[in-house]
Amino acid sequence: MSTVFVDTSVLVAAENVSDAALYQATLDWLDVLWSTRTGRTGNQALSEFYDQVTTAAAPMPQGDARAAIRRYQSWTPWKTDAATLETAWAVQARHALDFGDCLAVACAQHSGCQQMLSLYLPHGAEFGGVTIVHPLRQAAPAQAKA
């Protein structure tokens, strides 16, 4: 399985049990990505994750949010640099998306991912060689049994 970039919305959904179907779909994807070691994310996504989950109506304890981010550090999150910004601006100019989404797409591109899990970008859309996958619209791939 090739690497898959996970954006903020999916990281947050994996902590929110209020929508059972979405929660399960995101966990299924994350389980596959962890077991196959093919998950990727970016420092931007992790920063946004921390902000969103610790300031939600029912906030996650800061220590729990920090522990989650520490786990995702094993995915070697992409660090935004000048080249990433240039790519994000090019995506924004071409597709007229919100800049945060463009930055996530750019991070996915620079991380070598052909797919990006997202709840807010349109499922099946392609931006610069990165295809968007909504966890409820496409089930996680079946894991090979050992």
What 3 state SS string does 27-59 have?
A: HHHHHHHHHHCCEECEHHHHHHHHHHHHCCCCC
What pLDDT sits at residue 145?
52
What is the distance between the alpha carbons of residues 37 and 2, in angstroms, rounded to a whole number?
Answer: 10
Q: Which CATH number fits domain 4-133: 3.10.450.50, 3.30.380.10, 3.30.930.10, 3.40.50.1010?
A: 3.40.50.1010
Signed CA dihedral, 5, 17, 134, 144: sign only: positive
What is the distance between the alpha carbons of residues 62 and 54, in angstroms, rounded to a whole number?
Answer: 6
What does DSSP assign to residue 123? T
User: Tokens 């929508």 sit at which residue?
Assistant: 19
> Cβ contacts of residue 53 below 8 Å, gap of 6+?
12, 15, 59, 60, 65, 68
- Look up residue 98 and give its amino acid: D
The angle formed by the CA atoms of residues 113, 4 and 118, to the nearest 5 degrees, is 105
pLDDT digits (tens, 9 = 90+) for 34-69: 999 999 999 999 999 999 999 999 999 999 999 999
What is the distance between the alpha carbons of residues 105 and 117, in angstroms, rounded to a whole number?
Answer: 10
Q: Is the pLDDT of residue 74 over 80?
A: yes
Indicate the domain borders of the chain: 4-133
What pLDDT sits at residue 1?
81
Per the prediction, the chain carries an average pLDDT of 95
3-state DSSP assignment of residue 103: helix
Predicted TM-score (pTM) of the model is 0.95
Q: Contact, 128 vs 139, CB < 8 A?
A: no
